[in-house]
A and B are shown apart, each in its own frame.
Chain A
């Protein structure tokens, strides 16, 4: 019963994916070329979704919305936006 009352209370709890699996919104996928990337973290700081790992510069595609901000801001041109299948 406890979980039922929790579910029906008008209170929300901090959770990733509160707007769903927002990666499904993507039309283009940012792909990082690790040969070119210098790990400056500029993409990390501007990503509105917080889906870039600042150390590894890998992207969580489950939630990345494909906005392309990272690709435009990357100073080395290491990120390309590739059309989703």
Chain B
């Protein structure tokens, strides 16, 4: 059982009155992450909505030391900082518990532009947590396609709907043989909280991806951020799982879908709620294109179900 709402700590690391849109899923997710990490942490960010949301100099909307770095270097910069901290401790220049070094990066910065440095940090098993908040597009610059944009989705660079499926980034990270990988989404805050607490206490490289339904990019109504996140999980379009030392376990309600105890909701309802699929759903070839999207989801479920059977 995930930690219940009433047991979550009071601490707030995301400060009220930051620059994010109302209903922002990135801010919502980061707030829960803050409850799990506490104040003893150092945050790295690449250009993204979460940077635009930080507020204006000399004010900062997050209660951590924050470092804004280039897209290409989140993984390597986080590695550098974590090594520097270890050396400082060895030399007696830093006492007490070492701060958690974490990168907070969008899907564009993770799947595409920052992939090389992230892969390097993972292969070296450097002691960081790399968070990807995945709003499935380059939202901050006006919603362009990324490697995380699902097939069929409209963005400003895919005006007829993206033709390619998304990458499976969390599985790619799993195959870097790192000690901890997890997926989460904003509708399940207790699940997210537990995963971050776990990651914080594991040495080495941790990767946590948080699906973040963005009303602006996905074109749904602002109050429905959490609803959309829940529908994504119920339709199997987003799966909740974690892997410790390569061994996958599924979290509710995804575990019910994977084990076949519960059928995933058909994807149509989830798609229909989002303007980014509008043109596709109204087009003459709607049926085949929905079938394509359903096919992508079914394949991912089948793939991870089998991958989970490998426990050596």
Contact = CB atoms under 8 A, between A and B. Distances in A.
A1 to B, nearest CB: 16
A40 interface: yes
B31 A50 contact: yes
B226 A73 contact: yes
Given A16-B17, A50-B16, A40 B5 contact: yes
Is chain A's interface secondary structure helix, strand, loop, or mixed overall?
loop
Nearest to A23: B17
B17 A49 contact: yes
Contact of B22 (A15, A41, A44, A66): A66
A72 B31 CA distance: 19
Size class of the B contact interface (CB-based, 8 Å): 35 or more
B95 interface: no
Interface residues of A, number: 42
B223 A46 contact: no
A60 B15 CA distance: 12
A78 interface: no
B309 interface: no
B227 A72 contact: yes
Interface of B: 5-6, 8, 10, 12, 14-25, 27-28, 31-32, 53-64, 66, 186, 189, 222-227
22 contacts: A10-B57, A15-B60, A16-B15, A18-B15, A18-B55, A18-B59, A19-B18, A20-B19, A23-B17, A41-B5, A48-B20, A48-B31, A48-B225, A49-B18, A50-B14, A65-B22, A67-B21, A67-B222, A69-B23, A69-B222, A72-B224, A73-B226
Given A62-B17, A72-B227, 6 more contacts: A6-B58, A19-B56, A22-B18, A48-B14, A50-B31, A69-B224
Interface of A: 6-7, 9-23, 25-26, 40-42, 44-46, 48-51, 54, 60, 62-63, 65-69, 71-73, 81
